[in-house]
Structure 1
Amino acid sequence: MACDGCSASAKLDFEFSMAFQPIYDAVAGRVWGYEALVRGLSGEGAYDVLSKVSPEQKYRFDQDCRVKAIELASRLFPADEELMLSINFMPNAVYEPAACLRATLLAARRCSFPTSSIMFEFTENEEVSDTAHLRNIITEYRKHGFTTAIDDFGAGHAGLGLLVDFQPDLIKIDMKLIRGIDTSPVRQAVAAGIVGIAKELNITVLAEGIETEAEFLVLKATGIRLFQGYWFAKPAFEALPQIHSGSVLDRV
């Protein structure tokens, strides 16, 4: 049973599904997991879908996205591989952390999908005014074995301030910092600083938005292990795309 706030949320008057984009582990040389990205039924992008969500529907939408991602992942993920499923969530769409997790936990149980294989990421681009509420969310999620992550790190409302208030399991460096990093000593220095801070705090770093081999090699040299972006594979609608071969990935 959901919390009262989620139950009272307006029903969705549109349908949606998910695309999946791989996250590559450069040390293990394999796919670490997949991020579930919301899409329209005809493959429309996230912006198109999100533009249909009214303020009265955001709680229901957040819940339904989690369930859809778990259902699809349980069907698509190979049974003999340990893969992480990364799901975006909106902190402002969570009324009460424990109650709002019920639908997620029920879906995981129904689909026999381990909670230890689920990562919830929230973006800096959504301003969270109630930091105590976000801290309670992260604490509750960790009780159930979920991994927590900050998306778009280095852009948005906070940045390093979030690491002072919260210590997630993983941070995803924003693609704006990544773009052209191979020719920018300043960007390289900032990335190295983030990696150093994360190491001290025992936080894993993921570089997202990788579009070139040069970006990948420079970031890998800083000690980053996890990578995501079009250079590896574009998101695939209701499917798991393959990491491209015949590249430097075959030699790392």
Structure 2
Amino acid sequence: MQCNNCSVTELKFEIKIEGDSNLLALPQIYSHLNRRDIDIVTTENGLIVDEAGAKELMDFCRHFMDLEQVVFRINHEAWKPFSEIETVLDMQWIDKVIQKELISCHYQPIVNGNEEIFAYEMLARFQNEDGSMIYPNEIFPAAKIRGRLYALDRVCRMTAVRYAAKLKGEKAFINFIPTSIYSPEFCLRSTISLSEQLGVDPKSLVFEVVETEKVDDLDHLKKILAYYKEKGFDYALDDVGEGYSTIEMLADLKPKYMKLDMQYVQGVAMDPAKQKVAEKFLKKALEIGSIPLAEGVETSEDFKWLKQRGYQLFQGYYFGKPAALPLYEKKVEV
């Protein structure tokens, strides 16, 4: 059984109406929607409707109500100005992407100091029904606006596991968004089950926390990582930089891998400020027993500087761009 947040069920819009003149118009709203055969659930100062009802209500409110005193929400999230409801309706296309799983993965190599392939990061690629590409900077904001972030993250994880199975035991890094997981035991059950069905060795999967710097609920993240560890998987922290909160929390999380944010990698060979951050990061990684990984390497100069300082793993266009098929070279262990 899936929770509603991870499945793409029809959205319900909870509308809250304030202001004397607006409240006086409520009976007219109910009557108008009933004439349109739209199901409504009345509340103390508003109503709950489906998507069709939201569209009808949007047109009605524009002409007969003070929109500044009308708010809405979906999935019990924060209340938003009613003027934003049209944006949610416009993002309906993302439902098809998730329902039809119009998602694939590209493989980007992660190498050791000898430029031998150690693992691959699984990078999601999205497309519309007509085959046209959807970029990540389009789809994730759309998912957040429409309340589909949980469902999108889940289908991305499942797709990544399927593509990881094709590596026949080689290590795969799979991204996940901590805020998209309510309860590890419930939300990650399908991911764990799929990996077992496909015969994927838990030790070959590394679950990577996306946007580590933005984590604000450390206890929740600890529970997720503890669950992964209990099931035999390793985990990594992505986009780690110089933020005090991030550096300090590393000792508690003890990730197997730590990724230095590419903003401190690119140009590090010639930038003393970036060198300072990279060295501080390296010291902390080694101190807590994590494997330091530099991502976003694009030049031989940066690669050599990082390697000489003691970085063990590297990722970036210098070694290989994301591709539909993995590069099959010698696999190594670190």
TM-score using structure 1 length:
0.85
Asked if 1:63 is matched to 2:149, the reply is no
Counterparts of residues 235-246 of structure 1 (less than 5 Å): 235-237=322-324, 239-241=325-327
Amino acid at match of 1:124: E
CA distance in 1 between partners of 2:180 and 2:9 (Å): 13
Matching residue of 2:96: 13
1:151-196 per-position Cα deviation (integer Å, ceiling 9, x unaligned): 0010679431331442211110001001111112332232122212
Contact 2:111-2:314 within 8 A present in 1 as well: yes
Larger Rg: 2
Matching residue of 2:165: 74
Matching residue of 1:161: 248
CA distance in 2 between partners of 1:88 and 1:140 (Å): 16
Matching residue of 1:189: 276
Kindly state the Cα deviation for residue 100 of structure 1 after the two structures are TM-superposed: 1.3
Asked if 1:52 is matched to 2:142, the reply is yes
Contact 1:87-1:120 within 8 A present in 2 as well: yes
SS in 1 for 2:122: strand
The CA RMSD measured in Å over matched residues stands at: 2.3
* Stretches (4+) displaced over 3 A: 4-12, 41-45, 155-158
**What percent of counterpart residues are identical?**
32
SS in 2 for 1:113: coil
Question: Whose helix proportion is higher, 1 or 2?
Answer: 2
TM-score using structure 2 length:
0.65
Q: How many residues align?
A: 236
Q: Larger RCO: Structure 1 or Structure 2 (Cα < 8 Å, ≥ 6 residues apart)?
A: 1
Amino acid at match of 1:40: F
Sort the Cα spacing of 1:126 and 1:43 in 2 relative to 1 into closer, same or farther, 3 A: farther
* Equivalent position to 1:90, from 174, 177, 195: 177
1:139-161 per-position Cα deviation (integer Å, ceiling 9, x unaligned): 11100111111100106794313
Contact 1:40-1:48 within 8 A present in 2 as well: no
Sort the Cα spacing of 1:59 and 1:33 in 2 relative to 1 into closer, same or farther, 3 A: same
Which consecutive unaligned segments of at least 5 residues does structure 1 have? 244-252
Kindly state the Cα deviation for residue 137 of structure 1 after the two structures are TM-superposed: 0.7
Sort the Cα spacing of 1:52 and 1:16 in 2 relative to 1 into closer, same or farther, 3 A: farther
Matching residue of 1:100: 187
